């Protein structure tokens, strides 16, 4: 089966091909004979029931500095001319992102959008996870300094992070003395209109933050991300490093509970984050990563698994 695949993502010249999951998906699609088009979310258009993008035919190769070639732009009707749309632009999960999901939702009855745009919109990373609070560390969502102080008093040390942040950005540790808590809440309340996520600090983060990838509800693999020196953040984008890992029984239970719901929502490619072998902190559905590192450590071709799942749905 040869497919026309439209990839909605950031500019190709900005990616790190050694670890970028979207690039790995494009390579795998091309190897199967699928035809690739590249466009940005800003290139989406709608009129008279049609959604189209100013898109470039694309070819990719694993060669640093020469990893892509784009043809002349065409007006690609995403409902009638594309079989699959990969919605893979990086967050922030803002009004631009939400608008893109609304537009792509209008073609979801014609074209398979991965992940399902309505489900992406309704399942932001730090909100969807609240459905599984029994697996989470103690968590508070608030804009109130008084509530944050009371939470700190109960839990000793806390972490504050933006509700719609990504890539480990703007995550702060506040110790038992509460130093800078009021200043941090002031900055957060100025920078973001929505509430913020406050969680009990988990010392086990020093041993790593596990990224587990699920494909159509099934576990595909995992890596353990270790924080750099002097850091509590283990995201690879902020200097963390990855190592091979195995799942604990508690992590397998989390995946078994999440899997059917992810599959039912059309969330084909999902990455969940777990600390200490049992504490679920995020369910990443917008543009999850980690498949290149999993293949490097375990030899599991997760990109192929994702395309297998896509092709099954299209059949």
Active site residue 284: yes
Taking the mean position of all CA atoms in its chain, how far away is CA 179? 32
In the set 121, 210, 211, 265, the catalytic residue is 211
Q: Name the active-site residue from 88, 121, 210, 233.
A: 233
Query: Is 210 a known active-site residue?
Result: no
Catalytic residue among 121, 161, 210, 265: 161
Options 88, 121, 126, 265, the catalytic residue: 126
| Distance of alpha carbon 194 from alpha carbon 188, whole angstroms | 9
252 is catalytic: no
Half-sphere exposure of 275 (CA within 13 A, CB side): 20
Known catalytic residue: 121?
Answer: no
C-beta separation of 218 from 177 below 8 A? no
Q: How many residues does the chain have?
A: 315
Catalytic residue among 121, 210, 225, 265: 225
Exposure of 42 by Cβ count < 10 A (0-12 exposed, 13-18 middle, 19+ buried)?
exposed
Active site residue 233: yes
Q: How many other C-beta atoms are found inside a 10 Å radius of the C-beta of residue 243?
A: 11
Question: What is the distance between the alpha carbons of residues 89 and 52, in angstroms, rounded to a whole number?
Answer: 17
Judge whether 211 counts as a catalytic residue: yes
The residues carrying an active-site annotation are: 126, 161, 211, 225, 233, 273, 282, 284
């Amino acid at each position: 089966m040869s497919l026309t695949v439209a990839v909605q993502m950031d500019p190709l010249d900005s990616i790190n091909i050694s670890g970028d999951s979207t690039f790995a998906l494009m390579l795998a699609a091309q190897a199967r004979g699928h035809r690739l088009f590249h466009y940005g979310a800003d290139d989406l258009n709608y009129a008279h029931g049609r959604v189209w993008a100013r898109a470039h035919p694309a070819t990719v190769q694993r060669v640093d500095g020469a990893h892509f070639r784009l043809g002349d732009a065409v007006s690609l009707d995403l409902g009638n001319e594309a079989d699959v749309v990969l919605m893979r632009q990086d967050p922030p999960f803002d009004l631009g992102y939400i608008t893109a999901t609304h537009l792509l939702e209008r073609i979801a009855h014609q074209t398979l959008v991965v992940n399902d745009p309505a489900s992406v919109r309704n399942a932001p990373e730090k909100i969807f996870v609240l459905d599984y609070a029994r697996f989470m560390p103690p968590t508070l969502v608030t804009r109130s300094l008084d509530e944050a102080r009371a939470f700190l008093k109960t839990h000793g040390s806390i972490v504050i992070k933006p509700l719609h942040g990504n890539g480990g950005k703007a995550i702060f540790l506040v110790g038992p003395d509460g130093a800078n808590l009021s200043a941090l809440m002031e900055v957060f309340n100025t920078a973001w209109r929505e509430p913020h996520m406050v969680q009990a600090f988990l010392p086990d983060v020093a041993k790593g933050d596990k990224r587990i990838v699920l494909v159509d509800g099934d576990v595909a693999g995992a890596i353990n991300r270790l924080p750099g020196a002097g850091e509590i953040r283990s995201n690879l984008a902020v200097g963390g490093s990855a190592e091979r890992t195995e799942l604990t029984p508690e992590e397998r239970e989390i995946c078994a509970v999440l899997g059917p719901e992810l599959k039912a929502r059309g969330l084909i490619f999902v990455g969940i984050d777990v600390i200490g072998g049992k504490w679920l902190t995020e369910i990443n559905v917008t543009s999850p990563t980690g498949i290149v590192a999993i293949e490097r450590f375990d030899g599991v071709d997760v990109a192929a698994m994702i395309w297998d799942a896509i092709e099954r749905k299209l059949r």
